[in-house]
Amino acid sequence: MKKPLNFKLLFKYFLTFVGYFFFSLLDGKFSPFSLSLLTANLYVGVKALPSLVLYSIPFLLSQDFQTIIIGVFAGLIICFAFIIYKRYGKKPSFEIVGYLAIALAPYCAFSPSYPIYLKLAFSAIIILSCFILNTGAKIWLIKGLKYKLGLDDLFCSAFLFIVCAYGAIIAFGEDFFFAFSLLTILFTAFLLEKSMPVFSAILLAFPISLYKLNLTFFGVFTVVALIICAVSRYSKLLTAIAVALLSFGFFFILPNAFSSSLPLYILTSASCVIYLFFPEKFAEKWKTLLKVHLTDNVGRYSVNVHRNAVAGKLYEMSAVFDEMASSLNKVGSETPDRDKFAQTFADEILISVCSRCKNYNECRKHSFPSEPELIKITGFAIAKGKLNLIDLPKQFSFKCICPEEIIKFTNKLVGRYNVAEEEKLALLQGKDLVLRQTKGISIALKDLASSLNKQIEISDKTEEKIIENLLKCGIAVKEVAKFSGDESEIVITLPYKDVFNPLLTKAVSEITGYKSIISENKRISEELSVITVKRSPDMDAVFGIAKKVKDGKKKSGDTHSITKITEGKFLVALNDGMGSGERANEISSSAISLVETFYKAGLKSETVLPMVNKLLSFGDDDNFTALDVAIVDLFSLNVDFIKIGSPYSFILTKDTVKIIEGNSLPLGILDEMRPTVCSSKLSSGDVIILLSDGITDAFASSSDLIDFLSLQRALNPKTLADNILEKALYLNGNVAKDDMTVFCVRIFNR
């Protein structure tokens, strides 16, 4: 099978050839300056034979046999040395100086280009520069932008670029190099950070300043870079026009630095046109690629890896709880078999009672008592719970001489059956509770794992735009990281004093396109804080509570709760413990605490409420409690009501009063429960009203309560709650016959 072309390898060899070509032209006499680059390339792993061929080609341009032989001989010596070392799995060390000296000996001895002292000086420069070029070649050919550059890396790579650029000026002329420099600065401004154009301008000014022996180019290139930085954020067209006009101005103002020839104008204009019409698609692709390589990928990658690892562990733990639930479903699900017990009890009566009777043999001759008769008697006893003399068939009582003994023994067996049944029922109830817990925990772990699966974007334009927009507001941001996912999450490191700046969330919202809110704020030093910014719902809620303890009691059996589930989602609950006073308050508080804790842990309603019901029903006393729950989503404006033994709830809108009715028994009465669950849609200005039965019982009927509520318009929730309580007390003759609580929640547009 034919292998496809390796374009990366071809490009690498192309770069090496370009380097050899420009190095060979440095002095115009084809001195072997490229030998230092050849040595550096071999050090970084470029193959010897292709490198020797590419290195030798530029010497052919000299059209001088002696120059070609001297250059090729020097390359052969170095390549041969590296090939020998490679066979032994090594690379030359400091002894490379000796090999270079041998390779350059013919140049010093026979080249007619310069006096001997200059040739010796050039040879020393070639030997020394190969150590600098070693690092530069590694960056340009091997590592590129794959790792973070240190100062020595920047210096070495810049040195290699400057030398090649000097050769390019000799090869193509100063006009071409000026146009190339303009194009480079333009693309640097577009692809990299805003400070980079100035750096590239200074770097590009070195070779042309050396060539012209004129430092003016440092000022010219720096001014061009600063203008590009200032204008490029607004428009590519404006940037191209500004650069072209500025360059033309320099041509007239600085005639000693520029030739002001027609080719210079054409090449300069061409650079601006290429920048202006360069395909946006490719430019963005390069920008994204460079952004990835220049970003702090280690930190972001580490966070993502750890989040993935934790999410994976949570999924595994969730699978464990799923498996536990599956195993529990298969174990001990059967209930006591009455027919089986009746059969067993019949056999035991024959063995333990009848066999000891003095008429046993006589009875057995007449097959009395028969097995069906005994099974019928024991089955009836199990069903009834106790056997009396009148429960025995007349024929049986007439024939049996010791029915009292049979009744006594049968009741003893029934008692044993009842104990077994109670134990089995308790086991089933316990299993059901554990089963609900394991399923609930499994779902909660999966939800948590799903939230942790959100990754920090490696490259995201949003981060850059947020930094720029905050800077316009006078907020200097150190770092910004955006997490992927439907629910956007942005982490920002900034000065602590700016956390409370009202422009902060507004500036972020302008970029993200949605309202933002600071959900977390952690101070990491005296000067810096890390905040988490999340999407803020368009709606908000305000709460109002009014309550009155039953006359003669110190504590109310009514309790209420407000619980934040997620950003923009909360739970409100009103719990009415049966009765009033200390015990009712304790039961009510326990129930509301359980509900609040389970919802905070991420468990679902279908898991929470049955579990609370089971826990309340375990006690010996009557732990009854009526629960009214409303789960409000401020993003979707949906409200889910869960009503268990509670009276009517209401939604007060600007046009009408909606009734939320429940028909289930209170928590703790039955082992199994079926809560009333219903949903409704909210609008700005709507008020959710939860009432305990102390309030609803004060009104003659629900229609009277609705008539009163329909008169309450545009009130804040505290005033509304106070008005309802005041009206209920008035209807009761200003006597609190029961604990009375009104809980109001008003939804409004931010």
Predicted confidence (pLDDT) at residue 666 exceeds the cutoff of 50: no
Report whether 276 contacts 240 (CB < 8 A).
yes
Please indicate whether residue 233 or residue 245 has the higher confidence score (pLDDT): 245
Helices of type H across 564-716: 582-600, 605-617, 693-696, 702-710
Minimum mean pLDDT among 257-266, 292-301, 394-403, 640-649: which range? 292-301
Q: Provide the token pair at 682.
A: 């909210």
Q: Do 399 and 514 reside in the same domain of the chain?
A: no
Looking at residues 235-254, what average pLDDT do you find? 88
pLDDT digits over 350-381, tens only? 777 787 887 877 787 777 887 787 778 777 77
Per-residue pLDDT, 304: 57
Residues 713, 599 within the same domain: yes
Confidence label for 595 from pLDDT (cuts 50, 70 and 90): low
Average pLDDT of span 48-54:
89
Residue in the block written with tokens 């290139």: 221
Domain C-terminal end among 143, 172, 201: 172
Give the mean model confidence (pLDDT) for residues 244-265.
86
Structure confidence by residue, pLDDT tens digits, 607-652: 666 666 665 555 544 445 677 888 888 888 888 887 777 778 888 9
Q: What is the pLDDT of residues 535-557, one digit of tens each?
A: 888 888 999 999 888 888 878 87
User: How many angstroms separate the CA atoms of 48 and 84, rounded?
Assistant: 11
516 and 564 housed in the same domain: no
* Mean pLDDT within 657-684: 65
Residue 302, both tokens: 């580490």
Query: Residues 616, 733: one domain?
Result: yes
- Type and span of the H or E element at 209: helix 196-212
Q: Using one digit for the tens of pLDDT, what is the confidence trace for 316-330? A: 666 655 655 565 565
Percent of the chain with pLDDT over 90: 9
pLDDT band at 668 (very low <50, low <70, confident <90, very high): very low
Residue with the larger pLDDT of the pair 395 and 314 = 395
Lowest mean pLDDT among 177-181, 410-414, 499-503: 410-414
Q: What is the CATH number of the domain that holds 559?
A: 3.60.40.10
Where residue 400 falls among pLDDT bands split at 50, 70, 90?
Answer: confident
**217 φ/ψ angles, rounded to the nearest 5 degrees:** -65, -30
Full-model pTM: 0.51
**Both 273 and 340 in a single domain?**
no
Same domain membership, residue 571 and residue 441 = no
Same domain, 393 and 521: no
Terminus-to-terminus CA distance in the chain, angstroms? 67
Neighbours of 161 (CB within 10 A): 19
pLDDT of residue 574: 85
Question: Please, which pLDDT band fits residue 420 given cuts at 50, 70 and 90?
Answer: confident
- Sign of the CA dihedral running 466, 467, 468, 470: positive
pLDDT at site 423: 64
Query: How large a percentage of the chain has pLDDT more than 70?
Result: 75
The more confidently predicted of residues 711 and 324 is 711
pLDDT reading at 510 higher than 90: no
Structural domain tally of the chain? 5
Dist. CA 554–CA 331, nearest whole Å = 48
Residue where a domain stops, chosen among 120, 155, 172? 172
Element housing 105 (H / E): helix 96-110
403 lies in the same domain as 270: no
Within this chain, do residues 181 and 168 fall inside the same structural domain, yes or no? no
Phi, psi for 563 (deg, rounded to 5): -130, 125
Q: What is the pLDDT of residue 742?
A: 92
Give residues with Cβ within 8 angstroms of 577, minimum separation 6.
557, 558, 559, 583, 584, 585, 586, 587, 588, 589, 591, 624, 625
The Cα–Cα gap between 250 and 566 comes to 61
Confidence band of 314 (pLDDT split at 50, 70, 90): low
* pLDDT value at residue 569: 81
Per mean pLDDT, which range of 214-228, 455-469, 515-529, 573-587 is the poorest? 573-587
Could you give the dihedral angle defined by the CA atoms of residues 17, 12, 99 and 162, in that order, rounded to the nearest 10 degrees?
70
Q: Which residue has the tokens 């930094």?
A: 467
pLDDT tens column, 79-134: 999 899 888 888 888 888 898 999 999 999 888 888 998 989 989 998 988 888 87
Higher pLDDT among residues 526 and 120, named by residue = 120
Burial class (CB within 10 angstroms; exposed 0-12, middle 13-18, buried 19+) of 686: buried
**3-state secondary structure string, 422-441?**
HHHHHHHHHHHHHHHHHHHH
Q: How is residue 353 annotated by DSSP?
A: T
Indicate the residue among 172, 207, 236 that finishes a domain. Answer: 172
Quote the pLDDT of residue 5: 58
Residues 285, 344: one domain? Answer: no
Asked whether residue 472 falls in the same domain as residue 504, the answer is yes
Mean pLDDT of 173-178: 90
pLDDT higher than 80, residue 444: no
Residue 1, pLDDT > 50, answer no
Between 394 and 101, the more confident residue is 101
Q: How confident is the model at residue 459 (pLDDT cuts 50, 70, 90)?
A: low
What does DSSP say about strands 676-681 and 687-691: parallel, antiparallel, or unpaired?
Answer: unpaired
The pLDDT assigned to 667 comes to: 45
**Model pLDDT, residue 670:** 47
> Which residues does 53 contact at the CB level (< 8 Å), separation at least 6?
none
The reply to whether 251 and 340 lie within a common domain is: no
Q: Which domain holds residue 313?
A: 295-453
- Helix 174-191 crosses helix 236-253 at what angle (to 10 degrees)? 150
